[in-house]
């Protein structure tokens, strides 16, 4: 039974759907998907086209907007919007340390999680689309990993789409995870250098915190072991529009004087805990590298292995000299499954996924080259999360795709830019710009 309710300027309706766990076995086990329908409060009786929003991640539910912020207000001028919690996220059938043991042991859990990549998400969309639109194609807006899903949609079921809009999410069609991270680490280093240029006082602050963590065993209030590698991973903030400022404010008052000497303050630890914990989105850690798996080569903890090729990220070596500490970015490492209590029970499951050799292709270059769906993509210049060169190579493969390459925004431009990013993409897709 659907439930509707109001927020300022918008009417929301909770929608639930049943889909196969494995779309190759439509009569087998099922899971539940949750989505929130949104329509402008003055258009509730209008027959509007639909737009489905695919969130970034993997592993995050759709935004829980209040009212009509960011891109949503622009979309609601002409669409009904479906904010989909992709399988395993949000209010859809969850996949986490509490629920995965229902599958059995680590091997069964790993097998289950192979069904949580872009191809399954696209087939979920195609399963629920007739129930939502009556069979009509809908527009899709894909942010980050949602853009990866959109490219998979154009590969697997373009007949379901009226328009494809992508923000910061054009994947390489054939790069192995190793290629992705070899491109990423130099990009991350540039972002860290830009942060220190803005906030030069943070060089010494970051070194001091790292030195403390190398010589002290720090356990955060939720049981998270704050190692120096975990501290470095806070650099993931630097890919967002406000991230450099947020990192600066986190670092500025990290220590407090106590009877035992200087220690990391409760306030710092509380903020670090909120930023580092995967309790709310464990799928991000579990299947992050699997989104790059497309052949028999295992991902095999790619980000960790490739990091060793960039010794400047070694904290101990930086502190032994006078080099600034380098933060890292969007990457998953095996030590996370030791540090984070939300991930510890899933360590063996993660190891099995990292060793897997039966990944199947997610994209169809030939079908993309014959694309007929109006499509546009925002490509953020020097995006910390998605390599610009990889994105533009893919853009050239998708027939008719129009790109907007900009350095006005970081990876979260569709949020930070308000209606402007979506407005621009719609104009490009419609040949109005």
Give the residue numbers marked as catalytic. 144, 358, 411
Cβ density class 65-104: b for 16+ within 10 Å, e for less: beebebbbbbbbeebbbbbbbbbbbbebbbbbbeebeebe
Cβ within 8 Å of residue 420, ≥6 positions away: none
Q: What number of other Cβ atoms are within 10 A of residue 193's Cβ? A: 12
The residue among 207, 213, 195 whose CA lies nearest residue 276 is 213
Name the residue among 228, 194, 196 with its Cα closest to residue 211. Answer: 228
CB 42 within 8 A of CB 20: no
Give residue for tokens 């039966």.
Answer: 358
User: Which two tokens mark 147?
Assistant: 């853009």
Mind spelling out the 3-state secondary structure of the chain?
CCEEEEECCEEEEEEEEEEECCCCCCCCCEEEEEEEEEEECCCCCCCCCEEEEECCCCCCCCCCCCCCCCCHHHHCCCCEEEEEECCECCCCCECCCCCHHHHCCHHHHHHHHCCCCHHHHHHHHHHHHHHHHCCCCEEEEEECHHHHHHHHHHHHCHHHEEEEEEECCCCCCCCCHHHHHHHHHHHHHHHHHHHHHHCCHHHHHHHHHHHHHHHCCCECCCCCECCHHHHHHHHHHHHCCCHHHHHHHHHHCCEEEECCEEEECHHHHHHHHHHHCCCCCHHHHHHCHHHHCCCCCCCCCHHHHHHCCCHHHCHHHHHHCCCCCCCCCCCCCCCHHHHCCCCHHHHHHHHHHHCCCCCCCCCCHHHHHCCCCCEEEEEECCCCCCCHHHHHHHHHHCCCCEEEEECCCCCCHHHHCCCHHHHHHHHHHCCCC
How is residue 130 written in tokens? 């007739």
């Amino acid at each position: 039974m659907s439930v509707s309710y109001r927020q300022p300027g918008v009417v929301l309706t909770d929608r639930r759907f049943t889909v196969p766990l494995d779309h190759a076995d439509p009569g087998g086990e099922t899971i539940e998907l949750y989505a929130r329908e949104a329509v402008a409060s003055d258009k509730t009786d209008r027959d509007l086209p639909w737009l489905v929003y695919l969130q970034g991640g993997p592993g995050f539910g759709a935004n829980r907007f209040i009212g009509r912020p960011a891109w949503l207000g622009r979309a609601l001028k002409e669409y009904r919007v479906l904010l989909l919690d992709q399988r395993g996220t949000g209010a859809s059938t969850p996949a986490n340390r509490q629920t995965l043991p229902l599958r059995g042991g680590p091997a069964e859990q790993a097998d289950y999680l192979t069904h949580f990549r872009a191809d399954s998400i696209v087939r979920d969309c195609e399963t629920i689309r007739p129930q939502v639109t009556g069979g009509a194609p809908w527009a899709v807006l894909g942010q980050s990993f949602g853009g990866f899903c959109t490219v998979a949609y154009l590969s697997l079921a373009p007949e379901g789409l009226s328009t494809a809009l992508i923000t910061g999410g054009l994947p390489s069609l054939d790069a192995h995870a190793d290629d992705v991270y070899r491109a990423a680490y130099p990009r991350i280093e540039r972002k860290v250098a830009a942060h220190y240029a803005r906030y030069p006082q943070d060089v010494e602050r970051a070194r001091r915190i790292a030195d403390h963590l190398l010589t002290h065993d720090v356990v955060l209030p939720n049981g998270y072991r704050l190692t120096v590698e975990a501290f470095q991973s806070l650099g993931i903030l630097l890919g967002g529009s406000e991230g450099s400022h947020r990192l600066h404010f986190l670092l500025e008052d990290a220590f407090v004087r106590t009877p035992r000497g200087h220690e990391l303050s409760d306030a710092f630890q509380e903020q670090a805990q909120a930023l580092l914990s995967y309790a709310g989105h464990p799928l991000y850690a579990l299947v992050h590298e699997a989104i790059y798996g497309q052949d028999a080569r295992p991902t095999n903890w790619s980000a960790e292995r490739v990091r060793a090729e960039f010794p400047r990220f070694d904290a101990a070596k930086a502190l032994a000299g006078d080099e600034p500490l380098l933060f890292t970015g969007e990457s998953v490492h095996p030590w996370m499954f030791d540090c984070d209590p939300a991930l510890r029970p899933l360590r063996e499951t993660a190891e099995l996924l990292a060793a897997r050799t039966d990944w199947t292709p997610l994209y169809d270059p030939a079908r993309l080259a014959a694309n007929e769906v109006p499509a546009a993509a925002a490509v953020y210049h020097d995006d910390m999360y998605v390599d610009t060169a990889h994105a533009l190579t893919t853009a050239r493969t998708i027939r008719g795709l129009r790109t907007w390459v900009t350095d006005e925004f970081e990876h979260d431009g569709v949020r930070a830019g308000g209606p402007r990013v979506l407005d621009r993409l719609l104009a490009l897709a419609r040949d109005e710009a």
